[in-house]
Structure 1
Amino acid sequence: MELRHLRYFLAVAQERNVTRAAARIGISQPPLSQQIKELEQEIGTPLFVRTPHGVELTDAGQAFLQEAERVLGGAERARTMALRAARGEVGQLRVGFTGSAAFNPVVARTIRDFRRTHPQVLLTLEEVNTTRLLDGLSRQQLDAAFIRPGLTPIEGMALHRFPDESMKVALPSGHPLARQTTIRLAQLADEPFVLFPRTVGLSLFDEVINACRRAGFEPRIDQVAPQISSVVNLVAAELGLSVVPASICQVQVAGVHYVDIEGDAPVARLALASRETDRSAVVSHFTKLALSPPG
């Protein structure tokens, strides 16, 4: 028994006439009659009885009608859901982001806009470092991730880069340099630094270290913070100063002052990563929202 048999049966049951049912579904009357006969043979009992004006359902036909309508309705719902999934209107999206990326406006805007425009897609979020995000993408545990990339391509990943973000010096408010409007990195040569581990923010860490080296010194790292979000609190505790993405300035902690960097300053790079082989409509919609101008 196939779905077409159920559709043929339903047309005859609704029209109560084989000729009208055949015209409705676009086939001639003899093949339709033959299909109904084969269906009755497969079931093992008549579904219709002939009348002077057409056909009527038997008791078996009435019972079969209810189930046929349910099955065809379910098939149509399944078809609709499949098409909606293909268009990215339903399904699941697993998005990752680094701790520092969470402060960049593009991340919050994209997540907010996606939830508004795709309310029936289950969106789950995960915050870990870039290395673990890339591993999650490779293992198909994540679908897209906001990462801090280096300058080289990442094998197997499609990277959609955003404009570089400037970085600032985070200082204890009582530090003499906190009164300046700008700071040259060379002025920090003898200062204690608070930084996050390279494994947590590989590209950010390297960017800061390389910028200091270009300024003529090797930064003295006196304190390592477990996460970049912890850096600001350690600066407030006067354990040292740090260099952080400008978006971190949203973290207004008492006792911390942010100052622009003059000259050859490090930058924070941000990209949305997904697998090159991923053809998911949901990922495509999320990417388009991330790359669209704010507004």
Structure 2
Amino acid sequence: MALSLRQLRYFVATAELGQISQAAVDLSISQSAVTTAIKELEQTVGASLFIRAPHGMDLTAAGRQFLSHAYDILKKVDEATHLNVVNNEVEGTLTVAATYTVIGYFLPLHIERLRRLFPKLDIQLFELTRESIEEGLLTNRYDMSVLLTSNILNPSLVTEKVLSSTRRLWVPTQHHLLQADSVGLEEIAEEPYIMLTVDEAAHSSLKYWSASPYQPQVILRTSSVEAVRSLVANGQGVAILSDMVHRPWSLEGRRIETINVRDPVPAMDVGLAWRRNIELSPPMLAFRSYFQQAFHLPGNAR
């Protein structure tokens, strides 16, 4: 039986989310389609890729090895199909400012691709807070930025959303809330809560908590995503964070599961920003066009 890209995508989604039901929701398909694809893939590979456990799907040793190959294959396919953008002879310097979360969990892969696509383009990257980025764009210190666009309210800036990353509840393996397909803020409020503060995460979190009659029992505020990951994986608390920063394993090798949140919790929007009423230079147009084509976006600046 031939291996297919569909099987690889279903396998990766299940490996990352740890549950067939969550993978099906994320892929907008039926659970049976995911189950069938994984069975077919295991037959093709000739090895069991998952251990079926009460709390979900755990990768076997063969599964972890195959996941690395799956990532490589899907990355190459993505590069082959989505990298025909603007003229690669564009040259010049482009100063790009990015926030901590974006530069750590989103931007590096795309910067590497851009530098291969446009070898004559000198991309200078800076990590800053959102406030410093806004000020730098308005004073022409930076040409463009990549940041959490949902945090920008300045009318003198243009924003263009690239990605919406769903926020879900992070819990450790075998947590009692995993018995439900989704949970509400009422149930989450009964759990010890780890509050991430970097990139205005605490401010964004308190917006949706404040709109509800419940409040989280915050036991720690931290600017470190890895600290949240380890604390959750080790059963010290729960957190609501975006899929973009989620990884299924902590640094200690313990698994982090995710659960859908029933109550309104806005996605984390990542995108581009630049100063309004300027003519985009060729390097800026190349940068913008890359993201539009890589994420299949229409022109959606505001």
Partner of 2:205: helix, strand, or coil? helix
Letter in 2 for 1:195: M
2:199 equivalent among 201, 209, 228? 201
Partner of 1:135: helix, strand, or coil? helix
How far apart are 1:103 and its partner, in Å?
6.5
Q: How does 1:10-21 map to 2 (within 5 A)?
A: none
How far apart are 1:243 and its partner, in Å?
0.7
Q: Residue by residue, what CA displacement relative to the aligned partner does 1:12-37 show, whole Å, maximum 9, x if unpaired?
A: xxxxxxxxxxxxxxxxxxxxxxxxxx
Paired with 2:225 and 2:140, the residues of 1 have a C-alpha distance of 26
Letter in 1 for 2:260: D
Corresponding residue number in structure 2 for 1:210:
207
Q: Is the 8 A contact 1:100 1:229 kept in 2?
A: no
Paired with 2:134 and 2:194, the residues of 1 have a C-alpha distance of 26
Partner of 1:224: helix, strand, or coil? strand
Q: How does 1:147-186 map to 2 (within 5 A)?
A: 147-150=147-150, 153-186=153-186
- Per mean C-alpha deviation after superposition, the further-off stretch among 275-284 and 229-238 is 229-238
Letter in 1 for 2:91: V
Alignment of 1:274 onto 2:283: no
Letter in 2 for 1:247: M
How far apart are 1:228 and its partner, in Å?
3.7
Paired with 2:134 and 2:225, the residues of 1 have a C-alpha distance of 18
Q: CA RMSD in A?
A: 2.8
Partner of 1:164: helix, strand, or coil? strand
Partner of 1:250: helix, strand, or coil? coil
How far apart are 1:137 and its partner, in Å?
2.5
Paired with 1:271 and 1:294, the residues of 2 have a C-alpha distance of 11
Paired with 2:140 and 2:123, the residues of 1 have a C-alpha distance of 15
Paired with 1:251 and 1:130, the residues of 2 have a C-alpha distance of 28
Paired with 1:250 and 1:147, the residues of 2 have a C-alpha distance of 20
1:238 equivalent among 220, 224, 235? 235
Partner of 2:209: helix, strand, or coil? helix
Paired with 1:90 and 1:226, the residues of 2 have a C-alpha distance of 37
Q: How does 1:22-41 map to 2 (within 5 A)?
A: none
Task: Note the residue ranges of structure 1 that are not aligned, 5 or more in a row.
Answer: 1-86
Distance 1:251 1:290, change over 3 A: farther
Paired with 2:128 and 2:281, the residues of 1 have a C-alpha distance of 23
Taking structure 2 as the reference length, the TM-score comes to 0.58
Q: How does 1:97-108 map to 2 (within 5 A)?
A: 97-102=98-103, 107-108=107-108
Q: Is the 8 A contact 1:209 1:219 kept in 2?
A: no
Task: Count residues with an aligned counterpart.
Answer: 205
Partner of 2:166: helix, strand, or coil? strand
Partner of 2:150: helix, strand, or coil? coil
Letter in 1 for 2:219: D
Q: Considering only CA atoms, is the larger Rg found in Structure 1 or Structure 2? A: 1
Partner of 1:240: helix, strand, or coil? coil
Corresponding residue number in structure 1 for 2:258:
258
Task: Note the residue ranges of structure 2 that are not aligned, 5 or more in a row.
Answer: 1-87, 297-302
Distance 1:235 1:157, change over 3 A: same
Distance 1:191 1:147, change over 3 A: same
Q: How does 1:64-143 map to 2 (within 5 A)?
A: 89-102=90-103, 107-108=107-108, 110-143=110-143
Distance 1:278 1:252, change over 3 A: farther
Distance 1:220 1:247, change over 3 A: same
Distance 1:186 1:103, change over 3 A: farther
Q: Is the 8 A contact 2:97 2:142 kept in 1?
A: yes
